[in-house]
């Protein structure tokens, strides 16, 4: 039904088999313990090339596009959404790092040896991303960082943190995004450098990736930690977030499919009133609606991913697919829990994991309300 080339479908099938045979057993074991994606699974992701899907072959990547990136993310999320999120820490996420340094880091990234956490959100700067107050000031040639960041996934385990900090105040209060700069904080995996501390944020789901609140108290960075033009980083950050919404839509679809798989199998084997519950019209119609919504979300997301691969900066379309897929995922995973009845409300079945993870997709990478704002602004202009 999906319009994929033979190569794209083969790539998807390989990801499907890997997720089913290797990711799912790890997820079923570690997610209830709230443990992170283990090093053994990271090594397999690197071996299969998932950290370099969108990195060119010259630098050791697969040289594929956003569509293939989303196909992999969808299949991985069908087993454990956190694994699909981990691959977003690579895949060329280096911003305007240039020259030989970029070449070296891309090669390390494709091998899974250089993962980059993204530190944009702050306690008072989430949906209002331009309200960044974490500050970077000059001290001679160095930079000193002071402030806090929140919701920085994989911050301690990564080899680097991409930090967005304010280096100057905007001259026009209507342009608060001016004066935000980007810094690459390089460090050893599993550590924080002096001047940076953090604590994990307790979450109801999305286990497998520890989300951190970070506190910067005089962190000193060298001059070359500044990436790109000073005070002009906000547009890059928003471009990455926008592309990330297509990836989030894929993760939403994967979570929905994982829950749908469980519900379909359960309906076939669970008996009530001397017959499988899948023979009851209420269950059959629920599954029909779930499958229809999943297929619609897949079609939309494939279309938007192809637009990005053509070089189109599809802002409103990225918001549309993120909005539709995340809303769909919450409905489908909730309905899957209903089909499982009381068993769906236990941790004996992975359906509750998909439900908890799907709920987050309506919030991160821009809430559903923010997506509606972007879409409506594209139609009517900003009020």
Catalytic residues: 365
Radius of gyration of the chain (CA): 21
d(CA 71, CA 334): 23
Distance of CA 245 to the CA centre of its chain: 8
- Structural contact between residues 79 and 24, judged by C-beta atoms closer than 8 angstroms: yes
Identify any residues that bridge with 247 across adjacent strands, giving them in sequence order.
none
d(CA 168, CA 133): 10
Alpha helices in 80-199 (DSSP H): 81-86, 99-110
Residue 238: both structure tokens together: 């928003």
Unique residue bearing structure tokens 């995340």: 326
Positive or negative CA dihedral for 361, 366, 369, 375?
negative
Residue 64: both structure tokens together: 């594929």
Identify any residues that bridge with 275 across adjacent strands, giving them in sequence order.
272
Q: Which of 294, 207, 308 is nearest to 249 (CA)?
A: 294
- Structural contact between residues 8 and 68, judged by C-beta atoms closer than 8 angstroms: yes
CB atoms under 10 Å from CB of 352, counted, come to: 23
d(CA 83, CA 112): 13
d(CA 149, CA 51): 25
Residue 373: both structure tokens together: 């704002």
């Amino acid at each position: 039904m999906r319009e994929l080339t033979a190569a794209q479908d083969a790539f998807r099938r390989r990801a499907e088999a890997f997720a089913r045979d290797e990711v799912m057993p790890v997820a079923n074991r570690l997610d209830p313990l709230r443990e992170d994606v283990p090093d053994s699974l990271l090594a397999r992701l690197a071996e299969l090339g998932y950290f370099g899907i969108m990195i060119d072959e010259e630098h050791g990547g697969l040289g594929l596009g956003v569509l293939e990136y989303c196909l992999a993310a969808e299949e991985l999320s069908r087993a454990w959404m956190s694994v699909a999120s981990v691959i977003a820490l690579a895949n060329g996420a280096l911003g305007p790092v240039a020259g030989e340094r970029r070449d070296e880091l891309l090669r390390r990234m494709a091998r899974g040896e250089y993962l980059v956490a993204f530190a944009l959100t702050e306690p008072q700067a989430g949906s209002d991303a331009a309200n960044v107050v974490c500050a970077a000031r000059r001290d001679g040639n160095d930079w000193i960082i002071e402030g806090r960041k929140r919701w920085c996934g994989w911050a301690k385990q990564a080899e680097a943190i991409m930090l967005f900090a304010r280096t100057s105040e905007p001259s026009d209060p209507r342009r608060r995004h001016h004066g935000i700069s980007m810094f690459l904080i390089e460090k050893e995996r599993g550590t924080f450098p002096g001047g940076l501390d953090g604590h994990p944020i307790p979450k109801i789901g999305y286990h497998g990736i520890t989300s951190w609140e970070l506190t910067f108290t005089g962190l000193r960075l060298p001059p070359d930690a500044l990436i790109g033009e000073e005070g002009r980083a906000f547009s890059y950050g928003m471009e990455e977030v926008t592309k990330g919404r297509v990836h989030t839509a894929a993760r939403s679809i994967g979570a929905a499919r994982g829950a749908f798989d469980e519900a379909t199998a359960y309906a076939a084997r669970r008996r009530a009133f001397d017959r499988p519950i899948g023979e009851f019209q209420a269950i059959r119609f629920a599954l029909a609606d779930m499958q229809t919504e999943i297929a619609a979300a897949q079609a939309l997301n494939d279309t938007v991913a192809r637009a990005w691969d053509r070089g189109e900066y599809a802002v409103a379309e990225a918001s549309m697919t993120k909005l539709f897929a995340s809303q769909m995922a919450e409905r489908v995973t909730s309905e899957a829990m209903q089909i499982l009845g009381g068993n769906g409300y236990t941790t004996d079945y992975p359906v509750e994991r998909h439900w908890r993870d799907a709920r987050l997709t309506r919030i991160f990478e821009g809430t559903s309300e923010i997506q509606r704002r972007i879409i409506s602004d594209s139609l009517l202009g900003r009020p």
